[in-house]
Amino acid sequence: MIYNGKECLTQKDVVLELMKTGRPITQKEAYEVCGTQRLSAIIFKLRKMGYNIYNIPSKSITRFGNTCNFVKYFLSNTAEELQAIENATA
């Protein structure tokens, strides 16, 4: 799969590339972009690898008028930190 001009072999790679753009990612977006229904598992693995990911609890209204709780994940590493992590895992 190619995302943002880079070949991504796994769903984890796609999620990481999406987060490197500075945009938050939600479960809905992860499912739409790469088909994963286990975003929290991917985030767990990325955190263990050394990526600094934080989450912000959010709320939305469903099409039925009910409140829905979800989480937005953000990557907060600096460019230098990202390069160091990638060099260590390569």
Q: How many domains are there within the chain?
A: 1
> Going by DSSP bridges, is the β-strand pair 67-75/2-3 parallel, antiparallel, or unpaired?
unpaired
Place of tokens 């286990």: 38
Residue 88 belongs to a domain: no
Predicted confidence (pLDDT) per residue in 49-85, tens digit: 999 999 999 999 999 999 999 999 999 887 788 888 8
Residue 11 belongs to a domain: yes
CATH of the domain at 50: 1.10.10
- Is pLDDT at 8 greater than 70 in this prediction? no
Residue 47 belongs to a domain: yes
DSSP structure class, residue 66: -
At residue 22 the predicted structure's pLDDT band, cuts being 50, 70 and 90, is confident
Of all residues in the chain, what percent carry a pLDDT higher than 70? Answer: 90
Average pLDDT over residues 20-46: 92
Where does 1-90 have alpha helices with state H?
11-20, 27-34, 39-49, 79-89
Residues 19 and 25 sit within 8 Å (Cβ to Cβ): yes
